[in-house]
Structure 1
Amino acid sequence: MSISSSLNAGVSGLNANANKLATISDNIANSQTYGYKRADVDFASMAVSDSRSPYTAGGGRWYTAGGVRTNAIWDIGAKGALASTANSTDLAITGRGMLPVTTVSSLGGDATTPSGSDFYLTSTGSFQPDAEGYLRTPSGLVLLGWEADLNGAIPAQPRDSAAGLVPVQLNRASFAALPTSTVTLDANLPATETQAGKAGAALPVNVEYFDNLGASQTLAMSFTPTVPAAGAPQTNTWTLAITDQASGLSGGTYELVFSDTPPTAGALASVTQTAAPAAPLTSAYNAATGEIALNLGNQPIMLAVGSTAPGGSQHLSQLSDTFSPVGVTKDGSPAGTFTGIEIDEKGLMRASYSTGFTRVIYQVPVVDVPNFNGLRVLDNQSFALSNASGSMFLWDAGSGPTGGIQGFAREQSTTDIANELTQLIQTQRAYSSNAKIIQTVDEMLQETTNLKR
């Protein structure tokens, strides 16, 4: 009977608007929740009658009310405004994409790659180190990233799976040292010392370097002029001797010849190895780069003295009569303790140490999927992959379609309070109207019952 279908339609309208009210309530309740994605309800009609139904004996067609049904939807792809914070590991995405995370409950004793069932996404998070050094949110989401090697380089990783991602654990970077790999020696050698009658005394230069364990060591170098016989012209030639004081072994000797002809007067003209280093040390001069490649057994150091190629770099010179070690520039740092961390827009996480140096320890990628609105919605503003979302791809932050990673920032809720209150009024009126339908049907049925009297 059509009047009965009207009653059912009214009931379905009440249920549908109750669902709508539930989403509005959730949206308003989470208007201050960082990373919250607004929920909504999609209303769809239900057809019970159709225009092809046969005519009845009365010469017309019956219409049966089908009512309404609803589907909950989340606008996960929408981005909230970014709010500044005072915590360097408060993270948000400046565009498309999400952060990879796992849960505290899924962690074992060591940092391990999360399984597919333990891999989740979030658009923002306030990450702080816990007692074990894991960067996690108060709700238990742990940040994932690719771990760097000891040189700060990120090994090649798969981009279409979580394999290679590990929980970010700062305890693994509590102490670190940076071994010296480059030394640049700028000095002027006195040209007059290569004249006849000079003493030919060696001019020493000691250079500190840091070994692989962060200990301070010394490269002892000396420049000895080649003094000609009486009456002979000056040689403009020096012998560079290198000794690694850590091992007490020679790093080789080199003959340095300087030009005395304009326009290159005073510049290096040639560098020739005259004695090989003691094993296991090795060394060799590269004229193009102007560097002596030293290998101190298990630590390579590039010693820049100057190029003999036209237009090459100049570090050693031979002018006037004064020995002037202008300066020594080197990298490396002794062992230091962890003092802080920052993440740049490319997702590179740099640890700072008490000795003043920094190094990359992790890279946090940005996760992209074809359909963000197809992700499964979970607690704590986290999401999981699904068939509807499509397969993920891990991008370097800021590359491809993805946005960069912003530290000192959180993404705010996508709830618009004014819009929600407007929809609240509309939903209330729609609910009341559906209740009126039920009341009217009840009165009509009562009239039908009264016909019996």
Structure 2
Amino acid sequence: MSLISVLRTGVSGMNAQSSRISTVAENIQNAGTTGYKRTGTEFSSLILDSSSTGDYNSGAVETVIRRSVSAQGPVSFTTSKTDLAIQGNGFFVVRDSNNATSLTRSGNFVEDGPTGNLVNSGGFTLMGYAVGENGEATPALNSTANMVPVNVSTLGMRATATKAATISGNLPADAAPLAAPLSDKVYTKKTSMVTYDQLGNKVTLDIVLGKTATANQWQAQVYIPGNDTALATVTLGFDANGQISDPAAVTAAVSRLAAANGTSINLDMSKITQLAGSYDLTGTADGKAPSAVTGSDFASDGSVYALYEDGSRALAFKVPLANVASPDNLEPRAGNIYLPTSTSGDLQIGFAGLSGLGSIKSSALEQSNVDVSSELTAMIESQSVYTANSKVFMTGNELLETLMNLKR
């Protein structure tokens, strides 16, 4: 047995425990870091071949660093809608100021003042897919190429043009027929309703109605106040029960309205009745005046909605989740992010709740998966083993000094 090997074995043991203490220190200091994943030190013996059965050359111990990236940390709830936690598998896709893509579980995103992008505490921007006019995201298969920063403030104000309107109620069955043709000046009854053009401007529509000489028949015309030309004329025929006899025929597409406010409105009059009693018509229309974005809302599938001050919301982005075959083999980087490696597997991108990916929780954060009590226990163990290894080194050194003194 070589006394030198005893010294080296003692040093190897102290170095191994030093590595373990380092991971324990890192885990404890990041126990409160959002989305942090515990780092552990595992030991493996290194055996040296002995020249004979009577001699033994002590080996050493090797350390391997393992990161429990796949272990879920506890989820705590917050008051911020832009705080996001992943319940299950997957990572958020983020980019830094150099446009480099990485993965993270740290979902403490806030709106960046200068840009309006959602940025986490590490300074990384949340990426997602923009939603087109068809209401769908168009992701590239397992690629981050067409991802854009999630930024609802870029949507600005929104106006919704009127597309559908309805007039319902009752026309008196005993009304007298008009003596002259129906017009904006000659009518039996009149009602109005407010619509909106594509710019959000209010456009009032006047609907005038007059009973014709034909039994159980009325006419309706639509005008813009101040314009003597009717936008549409509709004939309303009623059956013996006072109901519209042909509902499909009285649904008018007011296409000429495009000249006034840039849109076409489908006007439904099929709910009007002709019964004994008084005149009672009301009109309603969809569409809304311009409204500004006031915030955002996240769904569990990653859908991001822009919230408007009028109470409406619109789908704006779809946040994907990324995953790899072996998350524990991802390469950690500063800022609590990870990069794929040859041992982690290729990047797979999908939407939350699909293909084994977890769900996204808004107003929630995933906490560190570090158990401080376990780390303190490991610290005590490492301290004891380190001390024991130092005793081995000191004993080997004393034996070596004894051997050197034999020459004296």
Q: One fold, TM greater than 0.5? A: yes
2:200 corresponding residue in structure 1: 214
Residue 191 (structure 1) aligned to one of 141, 165, 173: 173
For 1:203-282, list aligned pairs within 5 A: 203-228=189-214, 235-243=215-223, 250-260=230-240, 265-271=241-247
Q: 1:430 to 1:48 in 2, by over 3 A?
A: same
> How many angstroms does 1:195 deviate by?
7.0
Establish whether residue 421 from structure 1 lines up as the match of residue 376 from structure 2: yes
2:400 corresponding residue in structure 1: 445
1:100 corresponding residue in structure 2: 93
For 1:230-379, list aligned pairs within 5 A: 235-243=215-223, 250-260=230-240, 265-271=241-247, 292-295=252-255, 296-297=257-258, 298-306=262-270, 315-328=271-284, 330-379=285-334
Q: 1:184 to 1:379 in 2, by over 3 A?
A: farther
> How many angstroms does 1:432 deviate by?
1.2
Establish whether residue 132 from structure 1 lines up as the match of residue 115 from structure 2: yes
Question: Residues 179 and 210 of structure 1 are in contact (CA less than 8 Å); yes or no, is this contact kept in structure 2?
Answer: yes
SS in 2 for 1:192: coil
> Percent identity of the aligned residues?
28
1:309 corresponding residue in structure 2: none
Question: Residues 91 and 127 of structure 1 are in contact (CA less than 8 Å); yes or no, is this contact kept in structure 2?
Answer: no
Residue 124 (structure 2) aligned to one of 141, 146, 149: 141
1:277 corresponding residue in structure 2: none
Question: Residues 188 and 326 of structure 1 are in contact (CA less than 8 Å); yes or no, is this contact kept in structure 2?
Answer: no
For the residues of structure 2 that align with 1:248 and 1:429, how far apart are their CA atoms? 98
The letter for the 2-side match of 1:79 is Q
The letter for the 2-side match of 1:161 is S
Q: 1:214 to 1:387 in 2, by over 3 A?
A: farther
2:161 corresponding residue in structure 1: 179
Question: Residues 122 and 336 of structure 2 are in contact (CA less than 8 Å); yes or no, is this contact kept in structure 1?
Answer: no
| Structure 1 stretches lacking a partner, 5+ long | 107-113, 229-234, 274-284, 286-290, 307-314
| Structure 2 stretches lacking a partner, 5+ long | none
CA-to-aligned-CA distance 1:219-239 (integer Å, 9 cap, x gap): 3333322223xxxxxx22222
For the residues of structure 2 that align with 1:219 and 1:91, how far apart are their CA atoms? 46
The letter for the 1-side match of 2:200 is G
Question: Residues 85 and 364 of structure 2 are in contact (CA less than 8 Å); yes or no, is this contact kept in structure 1?
Answer: yes
1:231 corresponding residue in structure 2: none
Question: Residues 129 and 138 of structure 2 are in contact (CA less than 8 Å); yes or no, is this contact kept in structure 1?
Answer: no
For the residues of structure 2 that align with 1:79 and 1:292, how far apart are their CA atoms? 58
> How many angstroms does 1:38 deviate by?
0.7
Could you say what the CA RMSD is over the residues aligned between the two structures, in angstroms? 2.8
> How many angstroms does 1:250 deviate by?
4.5
> How many angstroms does 1:249 deviate by?
6.3
Question: Residues 253 and 266 of structure 2 are in contact (CA less than 8 Å); yes or no, is this contact kept in structure 1?
Answer: yes
The letter for the 2-side match of 1:366 is L
For the residues of structure 2 that align with 1:212 and 1:199, how far apart are their CA atoms? 33
Q: Which has the higher contact order (CA 8 A, sep 6+)?
A: 2
SS in 2 for 1:268: coil
For the residues of structure 1 that align with 2:226 and 2:331, how far apart are their CA atoms? 60
Q: How many residues align?
A: 400
The letter for the 2-side match of 1:118 is T
CA-to-aligned-CA distance 1:36-76 (integer Å, 9 cap, x gap): 11111121122322xxx7x64xxx35433221111212111
Q: 1:223 to 1:440 in 2, by over 3 A?
A: same
User: What TM-score do the two structures reach when normalised by structure 1?
Assistant: 0.80
For the residues of structure 1 that align with 2:158 and 2:117, how far apart are their CA atoms? 18
